[in-house]
Structure 1
Amino acid sequence: MLTTAPADLQTAAAMINKGQVVAFPTETVYGLGADATNESAVKKVFAAKHRPADNPLIVTVASVEMVQRFVEVIPAQAQKLIDAFWPGSLTIIMEYIPGKLSPIVTGGLPTVAFRLPASPVTREVIALADTPIVGPSANTSGKPSPTTAQHVWHDMHGKIAGIIDDGATRVGVESTVIDMTTEIPTILRPGAVTQEELEAVIGTVNSEHRKVGADETPKAPGMKYRHYAPDVPVYMVTDDNWQRAIIWAQQQLEPVGIMATDEVIKANHLAGMDYVWSLGDGVSAANAKLFAGLRYFDDRNEITTILVQRFADEGIGLAYNNRLGKAASGQFWTATDFM
C-alpha cells in the first residue's frame, strides 16, 4: 500500500506508465486507475473488477488541458460547469475526437465522461504520469463502493499493483454525471453536485432516472447493472416505519443490521447496541457513511438482513437515495409485508 509521500506518488505514476493498475483516492470514493490510452492496461481494470465490457469508464484528468487533448472543443455550457465545479464531484460527458480513446473505454459510444477530482494527491499522480486514467470505483462490480484504502484492499488485494492511502473519503458517494451532448443537459447519475446547483450555472437541466435496456450501452456507470449491494437483502426504511421495523428486527431469530441517523438511534433507544451503524447527524453524513456501513454488515456472516434509513428525495438526498435504492433493489420495509 502506498502513502501520499512524494516518492510514493512518483512510484504510483511510474506504475501507471508501465500499464499497471493503481487504486487512488478522491473526495467521493476510491477509484481504480490505469492509463486511459493503453487498452491492455484498461482491460486489467475490467478483469480486476469483473466489470461488464459494455459499461463505459470515466476518464479522470489532472487539468482541463488534459481534456483538450481528446475533444475538438469544450462546449460553452460545459466550460461554465468546469469553471464552477472543477476540481470537484462532477463528471461531464462530451463528444471526443474519434480514435483518441479505445472503444473499451467509451463502450463504443461517440462520447466520453471526464472528471477532474478535488483530491490533490490524485491530480498530482495523473500529472506525473502525464496521461489521463480510467477511474471506476475500486471495488468488485456490484458491491458497495470503497471509501477507505482498507475497503480497496479487501476487494483488490493481489489483483492490482498498489493502493494510494489518503484516509477516508469526504463525500462518500460517486460524482454527479451530467450529459452535455443532449439538447438539454441531463443528469444521468445524481451526486454531491445537485441539480439546483447545476441550474444556477447553466439554466434548465433534466434528470434521467431509468435503467438501461439489456441491448443498450449506458452512457454513464450505474445505469444498467446491479450496484452497491451486499450479499444479504437490504430494505429501505422511511421515518414513519422505524418503530415497527425495529420491533420486527428484534423478533427475528437471526440478527438484523440497522443503519440510521443518530436521531433515529436515540429515539428508539438503540445507542451502544450491537448490529447498529450510525449514519451520523443527517443526509450529508449519511452519504459519507453509507457504503462503509453496507460493507461492515456484509462482512458479518451472522447478519441476514439490513435495514437502512431513507431520506427525502431532494438536494443531496437524491444521490443518497439513488445508491441506497440500487443496494436495496428498490425494496422498502413495510409493516404490511413483514408483520
Structure 2
Amino acid sequence: MEARHLRYALALAEHQHFGRAAASLGIAQPPLSTQIAALEREVGERLFDRTPRGVFPTAAGEAFLARARSALAEMSRASVDASRAARGETGRLRIGFIGSALLAPLPDVLGRFRRTHPDVRLTLQELDSPASSDALLAGELDVAVGRGSPRGAGAEDLITVPIGADHLVAVVSTAHPFAGRPSVGVDQLAREPLVVSADAAASYLRPLFGADPAVLDGAAIARDIHTIAGLAACCAGVGLGPTRMRLLARNDVWFCDVEPRFRLPDLRMSFRATDSSPVLAAFLAIVRQNCSDVGTRLDELLARHPAVAERQPPLGAP
C-alpha cells in the first residue's frame, strides 16, 4: 500500500464517481478502478459500494478513509519537519560561554538566533574557558566561547575562530585612589590587592607581572566579570578584566586603562570540524552577520580542515 492508493481512495470518496475522481487526480478512469479494486483486495474488505447513483464508502471504507486522512496528514507533516530540520530550524544547540561574552557579542548573536530560529532548543551554560573547552572536546557542547584556543587531546579536530579582541582594564571602587585616573601602571597594580578570574590568574595574566609573578598568588578569584566588578566596588581589591567589562552598567566603579597596554587572548568560538548539524550551520550564519571579519576567516579555516574537506566540496564549488 502506497500513499497514492490513499489519495485515490480519498478522491473517490469526495467525488463519488470514478470518472470525476480520475479527472481530479490527472489519471484515466480504468487505472483508478484497477487500483481501488487492488486496494480492496489488500485490505480484505469492500471499501466502496458501486451504485447507479454513484460510488459511496462502506462502513469499512469510512473507517479506512479516516485513517487514510490521518496518515497523509502525518506524511505531510513529516516532510515539513524534515525540511525544517535540514534548514536548521529545529533541533538542539548546546553552547558554553564565559561571562564576558554576554556583554558582547553574544547578546546580539543569541537574540537574533532566538528570533529567527524559535523552535531550536538552546542549552546555555556559563563556564570558564578551560571547562568549556573540555566539555566541547568531550562532546557535551556543540559550541564553546572562551578566551584563547582550546587545548588538550582532540583540539586538532576543532575549528576555532576569533570573535572579539580585548585589552586589559582595571576596575576600582569610586572611593579608591585610582578612581578618576584614565590609566594605571603595572607597577602600581603590583602593589594592590587584585581581583581576577581563575583562568586569568592561572594563565594569560602571568606575563603581565613577569618580574614578580607571585603578585597573582594572593589575588581574590572571581567566577566572572560581574563578580570582579562587584568585589572592586566593595573595595576588596583592584579588578582586572577585559575591555568589554566597561559595558557593565554600574555607577559605583571606575575603569582605568592598564599601561603599558596589555592585549588579552582573543575571545574565540570553537566547534567540532566534523559537526555537520544544520542547526550549527544556521548559528554560524548568524555569527557571520554580527561579528566583523568572522566570515572570511571562518571560510579559510573550513576550507583548510581535512575533516570538512572530506564531507563537502570546496567552498565556492558548484
TM-score by length of structure 2 reads 0.25
TM-score by length of structure 1 reads 0.23
Q: Between Structure 1 and Structure 2, which shows a larger proportion of helix residues? A: 2
**Which one has a bigger Cα radius of gyration?**
2
Q: Between Structure 1 and Structure 2, which shows a larger proportion of strand residues? A: 2
